[in-house]
Amino acid sequence: MPAWGLLFLLSAVAQAIQDCPAPCTCQALETMGLRVDCQGQGLTALPALPPPTRHLLLANNSLHTVPPGAFDHLSQLQVLDVTQNPWHCDCGLIYLRLWLEDRMPKSLSSVLCASPEHTAHHPLDQLTGYQLGNCGWQLQASWVHLGVWWDLALAAVAVLGLALLAGLLCISTEHWPETRTQSHPRT
């Protein structure tokens, strides 16, 4: 590699180290990219992370959730440690779960939920979508209050549909022998 190329790469890494989020520490890796160490800093939210981040250490903080898209700009990210955080395992953690499933599935078992109560002490890989919450998939309030009347209306529509189907079957079987004998006369 020419000297100017090496100089360019070193200046890019130096700029990335300057962009290191407080209170984290950043270190250039031999394989290019950065090691961003935010372990044990009491973080309650993710800091702005530099794009060349390759190793991200977020263990032992106070993180509860990861916003959707938080790691999308980190195309070089290969190591992510999010253990020892009080994760609130609901819809707000689905992005992290899906991201880890795609890129680091073995690490899912080390992400333990702290809340809500029905998910506490369970690893993220053992929770179903139902356990993570309804994630906004709720009926509109105006439909929820119909209760029993809604159920009765659906049952009536189902019965009416079955009656129409039975009537059509009766009519088609009554005319079927006539149409068969007319199209194939006996000789």
Q: Which of 30-34, 111-115, 133-137, 155-159 has the highest mean pLDDT?
A: 111-115
How does the average pLDDT of the chain come out, rounded? 83
pLDDT over 60 at 170, yes or no: yes
In the chain, the amino acid numbered 129 is G
Distance CA 69, CA 82 (A): 16
Percent over 90 (pLDDT), the chain: 57
Least confident of 30-34, 43-47, 148-152: 148-152
Residue 142 burial class via C-beta count within 10 angstroms: exposed 0-12, middle 13-18, buried 19 and up: exposed
Distance CA 161, CA 80 (A): 55
pLDDT tens for 60-109 read 999 999 999 999 999 999 999 999 999 999 988 999 999 999 999 999 99
Compute CA distances 8 → 15, 49, 131, whole Å: 11, 21, 49
Q: Is the dihedral of CA 42, 44, 48, 53 positive or negative?
A: positive
Token digits of residue 5: 């190329």
Supply the pLDDT for residue 8: 43
